[in-house]
């Protein structure tokens, strides 16, 4: 939603963000060695499942940071 809101703020109703999530996850799977957990944490840092939140101790911040730097390059 952040990207969609930014596009609206810019007055760019001619552009959509559809497919951005799938393009990102495809790139991670095909071009990197990062596991799915890091990809999901990068896309949605808030864990929806109460059970998973209970057992997940770390936030993968350093791995997410490295992943996003690679994506940016």
pLDDT score, position 33:
95
Domain range enclosing 29:
21-72
The predicted structure's pLDDT at residue 45: 63
Give the predicted TM-score (pTM) of the model: 0.64
How far apart are alpha carbons 3 and 7 in whole angstroms? 6
Residue 35, domain member (yes or no) = yes
Would 7 be classed as within a structural domain?
no
In a domain, 15, yes or no: no
Provide the sign of the torsion angle of the four alpha carbons 70, 71, 72, 73, taken in this order: positive
Quote the pLDDT of residue 59.
77
pLDDT in tens, the chain (73 residues): 788 888 899 999 888 877 778 888 899 999 999 998 898 888 876 667 778 766 766 778 899 999 999 999 9
The total domain count for the chain is 1
What is the torsional sign of CA 61, 63, 66, 68? negative
How far apart, in whole angstroms, are the C-alpha atoms of residue 52 and residue 62? 20
């Amino acid at each position: 939603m952040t990207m969609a809101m930014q596009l609206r703020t810019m007055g760019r109703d001619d552009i959509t963000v559809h497919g951005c999530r799938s393009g990102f996850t495809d790139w991670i799977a095909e071009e990197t060695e990062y596991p799915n957990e890091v990809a999901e944490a990068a896309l949605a840092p808030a864990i929806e499942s109460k059970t998973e939140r209970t057992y997940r101790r770390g936030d993968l911040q350093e791995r997410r940071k490295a992943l996003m730097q690679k994506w940016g390059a």
